[in-house]
Amino acid sequence: MEKFFYISAKNQYDASAFKVALAGITYPDPTYKIQRKSSEVCVAEYISDGEGTVIYNGEEYHLKKGDAYILTSGKDHIYYSDKNNPWTKKWFNISGELCEKLLTAYGIKNRVYFHNTSISPIFDDFFDFCTKNTEADKIDQYGAIIFHRIVQSLAESSKDNTLSAAEKIKSYIDSNIYEKLTAASVAENAGFSVSQLGRIFKSEYGETVYSYILEQKIRTAENLLKNSGLSVKEISNMLKFTDEHYFCNIFKKKCGVTPARYRR
């Protein structure tokens, strides 16, 4: 059984830079199996429960709860659920040159399997967006942002575990910039008290955790204003600012102009 949050009404294999073809959740089914020859879509999938198998480029991967995988287009795709403990998974099928470019840019083009990831909320964010929006262009546009977040998060989780405590804190903020971040929530994730977190981060980077979070959110907002058609309110909501008015005030204070003027 599958629940679809989005099914493209257009030709899902057109020449768009990025396009969402399908998005949904697969529920436990011991007979579930997908097989594509020279697939025209790239798939990004997260296992939220159960287990299953992926066969890609002659390699076999066994995945369990918390794992994720990305299969690029142009290759044979085979994946199926375990008969005794069939998986539940969140996924979307996408196409376009941006897929490969992002995977290449983040150095994971040749990675398939990612163990114990934390990308489930990113899929939920996209599903929620799909339930509130029906315009294909907006779905594709936000889907590109979602895929970027997924790739960034998987790339960060793939790095050698040699980062300092401050670097791990910074990496966590960068990978979750679209979430509602506070010093307390970051401290909880890092396993420190808020005061310890502040000392560690400021000693390494010379600024507070809060100022860095705000700086990165404003930089992300600048990028979205320049390179997307999202409204100021949509960007404010996406970056989890309290409201549009607060976002505009902070943006003007940091950039010298309002978001609308910056875009012009």
Full DSSP string of 62-84: EEETT-EEEE-TTS-EEEEE-SS
pLDDT at position 209 is 93
Q: Which CATH number fits domain 165-263: 3.20.20.150, 3.50.50.60, 1.10.10.60, 1.10.3720.10?
A: 1.10.10.60
Neighbouring C-beta atoms of residue 125, cutoff 10 Å = 17
Answer whether 114's CB lies under 8 Å from 44's CB: no
- CATH class name, domain 2-158: mainly beta
Distant-in-sequence, close-in-space partners of 72: CB < 8 Å, separation ≥ 6: 42, 99, 100, 103, 109
pLDDT at position 161 is 47
Q: What does the pLDDT look like over 128-153, one tens digit per residue? A: 999 999 899 999 999 999 999 999 99
First and final C-alpha spacing in the chain? 47
The owner of tokens 């979307």 is: 92
Residues of the chain short of pLDDT 70, as ranges, are 10-15, 159-163, 191
pTM: 0.62
User: What is the C-alpha to C-alpha distance for residues 140 and 19, in angstroms, rounded to an integer?
Assistant: 5
pLDDT at position 115 is 83
